[in-house]
Amino acid sequence: MLGSLTAAAENHDPTGAFPDGGFPVLLGYSLSKTAVNALTVMYANELREEGILVNSVSPNWVPTDANDHSGILSREQGAVMPVRMATLPDGGPTGTFTCSDATGAGLTLPW
Protein backbone atom coordinates (compact mmCIF):
# COMPACT_ATOMS: atom_id res chain seq x y z
CA MET A 1 0.00 0.00 0.00
CA LEU A 2 2.86 2.38 0.72
CA GLY A 3 3.82 2.15 -2.95
CA SER A 4 0.44 3.46 -4.16
CA LEU A 5 0.75 6.98 -5.56
CA THR A 6 -3.05 7.28 -5.59
CA ALA A 7 -3.34 6.41 -1.89
CA ALA A 8 -0.52 8.82 -1.02
CA ALA A 9 -2.08 11.66 -3.03
CA GLU A 10 -5.47 11.07 -1.42
CA ASN A 11 -3.88 10.64 2.06
CA HIS A 12 -6.04 7.52 2.41
CA ASP A 13 -5.05 3.92 3.12
CA PRO A 14 -7.56 1.61 1.39
CA THR A 15 -6.31 -1.37 3.45
CA GLY A 16 -7.31 0.20 6.77
CA ALA A 17 -3.87 -0.17 8.34
CA PHE A 18 -3.65 3.61 8.80
CA PRO A 19 -6.49 6.06 9.57
CA ASP A 20 -7.68 8.55 6.95
CA GLY A 21 -5.35 11.52 6.86
CA GLY A 22 -2.61 9.41 8.42
CA PHE A 23 -0.85 8.06 5.34
CA PRO A 24 2.71 7.58 6.65
CA VAL A 25 5.70 9.45 5.26
CA LEU A 26 8.39 6.78 5.00
CA LEU A 27 10.41 8.15 2.09
CA GLY A 28 12.91 5.38 1.42
CA TYR A 29 10.46 2.54 2.02
CA SER A 30 7.60 4.10 0.03
CA LEU A 31 9.87 5.07 -2.87
CA SER A 32 11.25 1.53 -3.14
CA LYS A 33 7.71 0.09 -3.15
CA THR A 34 6.62 2.61 -5.82
CA ALA A 35 9.58 1.53 -7.96
CA VAL A 36 8.57 -2.14 -7.59
CA ASN A 37 5.03 -1.25 -8.69
CA ALA A 38 6.34 0.57 -11.78
CA LEU A 39 8.54 -2.42 -12.59
CA THR A 40 5.52 -4.71 -12.22
CA VAL A 41 3.57 -2.76 -14.85
CA MET A 42 6.55 -2.70 -17.23
CA TYR A 43 7.16 -6.46 -16.92
CA ALA A 44 3.42 -7.22 -17.20
CA ASN A 45 3.23 -5.28 -20.46
CA GLU A 46 6.43 -6.81 -21.81
CA LEU A 47 5.43 -10.42 -21.01
CA ARG A 48 1.68 -10.26 -21.60
CA GLU A 49 1.82 -11.69 -25.15
CA GLU A 50 3.86 -14.64 -23.89
CA GLY A 51 1.17 -15.49 -21.33
CA ILE A 52 3.40 -14.68 -18.34
CA LEU A 53 1.48 -13.01 -15.52
CA VAL A 54 3.24 -10.34 -13.46
CA ASN A 55 1.52 -8.80 -10.43
CA SER A 56 2.50 -6.98 -7.24
CA VAL A 57 1.06 -8.49 -4.09
CA SER A 58 1.24 -7.50 -0.45
CA PRO A 59 0.47 -9.59 2.61
CA ASN A 60 -0.79 -6.34 4.23
CA TRP A 61 0.24 -5.34 7.77
CA VAL A 62 1.18 -8.64 9.44
CA PRO A 63 3.25 -9.33 12.57
CA THR A 64 6.98 -9.39 11.77
CA ASP A 65 10.25 -8.49 13.48
CA ALA A 66 10.23 -5.22 11.49
CA ASN A 67 7.01 -4.00 13.19
CA ASP A 68 7.60 -5.47 16.68
CA HIS A 69 5.11 -8.26 15.90
CA SER A 70 2.11 -5.96 15.53
CA GLY A 71 -0.31 -5.95 12.63
CA ILE A 72 -3.94 -5.95 11.56
CA LEU A 73 -3.85 -9.44 10.00
CA SER A 74 -2.40 -12.75 11.16
CA ARG A 75 0.47 -14.24 9.16
CA GLU A 76 -1.96 -16.87 7.85
CA GLN A 77 -4.40 -14.19 6.62
CA GLY A 78 -1.51 -12.30 5.05
CA ALA A 79 -0.39 -15.38 3.12
CA VAL A 80 -3.72 -15.81 1.30
CA MET A 81 -3.21 -13.37 -1.59
CA PRO A 82 0.49 -14.06 -2.23
CA VAL A 83 -0.34 -17.77 -2.57
CA ARG A 84 -3.44 -17.08 -4.70
CA MET A 85 -1.54 -14.77 -7.05
CA ALA A 86 1.38 -17.22 -7.35
CA THR A 87 -1.00 -19.97 -8.46
CA LEU A 88 -3.16 -18.08 -10.97
CA PRO A 89 -4.37 -20.05 -13.98
CA ASP A 90 -3.45 -19.15 -17.54
CA GLY A 91 -5.26 -15.99 -18.61
CA GLY A 92 -5.45 -14.64 -15.05
CA PRO A 93 -4.95 -10.98 -14.21
CA THR A 94 -1.65 -9.29 -14.93
CA GLY A 95 -0.33 -5.85 -14.07
CA THR A 96 -2.31 -5.60 -10.82
CA PHE A 97 -1.49 -4.55 -7.25
CA THR A 98 -3.33 -6.71 -4.71
CA CYS A 99 -3.15 -7.23 -0.96
CA SER A 100 -4.54 -9.66 1.57
CA ASP A 101 -7.46 -8.62 3.72
CA ALA A 102 -9.40 -10.07 6.65
CA THR A 103 -12.14 -11.50 4.38
CA GLY A 104 -9.77 -13.63 2.29
CA ALA A 105 -11.15 -12.05 -0.90
CA GLY A 106 -8.23 -9.66 -1.24
CA LEU A 107 -8.21 -6.03 -2.23
CA THR A 108 -7.01 -4.60 -5.54
CA LEU A 109 -5.07 -1.45 -4.71
CA PRO A 110 -4.82 1.65 -6.91
CA TRP A 111 -1.51 2.40 -8.55
Residues with active-site annotation: 29
CA 40 to each of CA 3, 11, 53: distance values in angstroms, whole numbers, following the listed order: 12, 23, 10
* Helical (H) or strand (E) element with 97: strand 97-99
What distance lies between CA 104 and its chain's CA centroid? Answer: 14
